[in-house]
Amino acid sequence: MAELRLMKGNEAIAEAAIRCGCDGYFGYPITPQSEVLETLMARKPWEETGMVVLQAESEIAAINMVYGGAGCGKKVMTSSSSPGISLKQEGITYIAGAELPCLIVNVVRGGPGLGTIQPAQSDYFQAVKGGGHGDYKLIVLAPASVQEMYDYVDLGFELAFKYRNPVMILSDGIIGQMMEKVQIGPYKPRMTDEEIVAKYGSWATTGKTPNRQRNIITSLDLDPNRQEQFNLKLQCKYKEIEEKEVRFEKIACDDAEYLLVAYGSSSRICQKVVDLAREKEIKVGLLRPITLFPYPTKAIQAMLGHLKGILAVEMSTGQMVEDVRLAVEGKVAVEHYGRMGGAIPTPQDVLKALEEKIIKG
Amino acid sequence: MTEEIIIAGFGGQGVLSMGKTLAYSGIMQDQEVAWMPSYGPEMRGGTANVTVILSDSRISSPILQEFDTAIILNQQSLDKFEKMVKPGGTLIYDPNGITRHPQRTDINIYWVEATEEAARMKNAKTFNMIVLGAFLKVKPIVKLENVKKGLEKSLPQRHHHLIPMNQEAIGRGMEIVKKVN
């Protein structure tokens, strides 16, 4: 039977990892996501499901442990916050280049550099446009509630294995630290090597069997032709992901004249803005991207006919707004409103910006 | 029904756990709840506050600029949050240590002398439950039986023997709260 619990977003990540049959978590503590590792250590899943939980000596070690575990076909993950995710970028691009599944959670804090421990959304470019080197993409999920923090761990692993691609949950200090009601699901058993082969194919280095070629996990190929072919193959995969995996939510969009576009915690703030605006009889809707890659470009384009203006709201100097502008192609005015460095806009701040930048502008 | 509450005071006063008890009580009566703490390089003696929202429908922003109720437990928090109570809203505060009292006339202001009462009960740890009782008297948004269920759910088994004491403190808070304007 489903169980309801009051949990922090970070705790929900940990609980979901145990229950979705994760084989291993490798991490290093950093505010505001330390409760992920703390919860896992307190829960001792190695006694319950056999899941490994390891505090590595650094973020770089942790992501390379993930690389190793993923190469063996295991369901493995790491989590960190912005500066720690920067340290992991080399490992992430190697994992993408080796076409391995894994889950990476970024509970974003303000930057650049060590920045602040307060929430921000200034890692959008890093998550969506690369981060590490090379032409690769992560599938990026943006939870806006603690329930979604829980749900997207399982979803993230499903997508990671389906596409043999790293998946990132891009959260922030608000969702990580906030407590909400969470419906806890039943335990899914950890998969055996045989089950992984049956479901996702034989690519992992689990020991060569006589009737197949050796599996090799690498991101290195010095032959330009083969490397180009490999890049084209990756691009085909990303294209398929763009066609099949776009997720978003529309709130009060049917009659909207003005549109807010916001993800994660900003979308929660914007839900209130919609209510405040509608009280003033301003027809405002909200489009909330759930996947940041693939981005809900077509969903925005489909609404342009009845929109007078769009405000992208993010806790950054304006990153996601670029993807909104690419979707809109100049057909409607697009402005950005954001706070940064750990400052959080209130719904009233956003409404004021909407009125000043879009409605009067 | 949606009730947006800020609880603010010193770290160590039980601000966050009072909010948690309230949130758990909301879950026990099938409500949506959100509990959003201020977090930062804070420690015992520093300021601590938490936004708690209980609602019959989906909760939008956990980040708020105005509140239905402010529960205020020190001077810094009073100075910061008095102006953020919605007109017609509620402010409940413990006058202990307060030198500049609330000034607004467009909100309902209540006293709960919880610090004194906790001393009388010879248990400083009951302080936050006395304050919670005061709130529940003024705003009975959760049933007392659901508060009990919430405590049972949120406290580990080894602390369950403390639940009657907490209930008693809630009862005391309900008795001593008084309107001051």
Q: Looking at the predicted structure, is the pLDDT value of residue B59 above 80?
A: yes
Q: Work out the pLDDT band at B39, boundaries 50, 70, 90.
A: confident
Q: Looking at the predicted structure, is the pLDDT value of residue B40 above 80?
A: no
Q: Looking at the predicted structure, is the pLDDT value of residue A1 above 60?
A: no
For A150-153, which contacts have Cβ atoms below 8 Å and span 24 or more sequence positions? Answer: A150/A7, A150/A12, A150/A13, A150/A15, A150/A16, A150/A182, A150/A183, A150/A184, A150/A185, A151/A16, A153/A13, A153/A16, A153/A17, A153/A20, A153/A22, A153/A77, A153/A103
Per the structure block, which two tokens stand in for B173?
């808070």
Note which residues in 155-214 of chain A have CB less than 8 A from chain B. Answer: 173-174, 177-181
Q: Work out the pLDDT band at B41, boundaries 50, 70, 90.
A: low
- The CA distance from B49 to B6, in Å, is 7
Question: CB-based contact (8 Å) between A4 and chain B?
Answer: yes
Backbone conformation region of residue A234, classed left if phi is above 0, alpha if psi is from -120 to 50, else beta: alpha
CA of B34 vs chain A CAs: smallest distance (Å) = 5
Place of tokens 């009951």: B126
* A177 contacts B23? CB cut-off 8 A: no
User: What is the rounded average pLDDT for all residues in chain B?
Assistant: 94
Q: Looking at the predicted structure, is the pLDDT value of residue B113 above 60?
A: yes
Length of chain B: 181
Q: Work out the pLDDT band at B44, boundaries 50, 70, 90.
A: low
Q: What is the pLDDT of residues A149-158, one digit of tens each?
A: 999 999 999 9
Average pLDDT of the residues in A112-136:
96
Contact residues, chain A, for B62 at CB < 8 Å: 174, 178, 265, 268
CA of B120 vs chain A CAs: smallest distance (Å) = 33
Query: Which is more confidently placed, B42 or A108?
Result: A108
Q: What is the pLDDT of residues A78-90, one digit of tens each?
A: 999 999 999 999 9
Task: Output the pLDDT for position B71.
Answer: 98
Task: Output the pLDDT for position B62.
Answer: 96
For A76-113, give the DSSP string.
EEEEE-HHHHHHTHHHHHHHHHTT--EEEEEEEB--ST
Q: Work out the pLDDT band at A211, boundaries 50, 70, 90.
A: confident
Q: Looking at the predicted structure, is the pLDDT value of residue B45 above 70?
A: no
For chain A, what are the domain ranges? 3-184, 248-359
Partner residue facing B65 (CB), from A177, A270, A347: A347
Q: Looking at the predicted structure, is the pLDDT value of residue A73 above 60?
A: yes
Task: Output the pLDDT for position A206.
Answer: 87
For chain B, what are the domain ranges? 2-179
Q: Looking at the predicted structure, is the pLDDT value of residue A229 above 70?
A: yes
* A344 contacts B35? CB cut-off 8 A: no
Contact residues, chain A, for B20 at CB < 8 Å: 6, 179
User: Domain spanning A248-359: which CATH class is it, in words?
Assistant: alpha beta
Question: CB-based contact (8 Å) between A72 and chain B?
Answer: no
Note which residues in 137-156 of chain B have CB less than 8 A from chain A. Answer: 154
* B59 contacts A180? CB cut-off 8 A: yes
Q: What is the pLDDT of residues A307-357, one digit of tens each?
A: 999 999 999 999 999 999 999 999 999 999 999 999 999 999 999 999 999
Q: What is the pairing mode between strands B47-55 and B2-10? A: antiparallel
Superfamily of domain B2-179 in CATH is Pyruvate-ferredoxin oxidoreductase, PFOR, domain III (3.40.920.10)
DSSP 3-state of A290: coil
Pick the CATH number of A3-184 from 3.40.50.2000, 3.40.50.970, 3.40.1080.10, 3.40.50.150: 3.40.50.970
Task: Output the pLDDT for position B46.
Answer: 79
Contact residues, chain B, for A118 at CB < 8 Å: 40
Task: Output the pLDDT for position B140.
Answer: 97
ipTM of the complex model: 0.93
- Cβ(B69)–Cβ(B85) below 8 Å: yes
- Cβ(A131)–Cβ(A92) below 8 Å: yes
* B63 contacts A346? CB cut-off 8 A: yes
Task: Output the pLDDT for position B117.
Answer: 96
A interface test, pick of B61, B83, B154 with most A CB neighbours within 10 Å? B61
Partner residue facing B34 (CB), from A32, A180, A275: A180
| Beta-bridge partner residues of A309 | A258, A333
* B154 contacts A271? CB cut-off 8 A: no
Question: CB-based contact (8 Å) between B37 and chain A?
Answer: yes
Task: Output the pLDDT for position B42.
Answer: 61
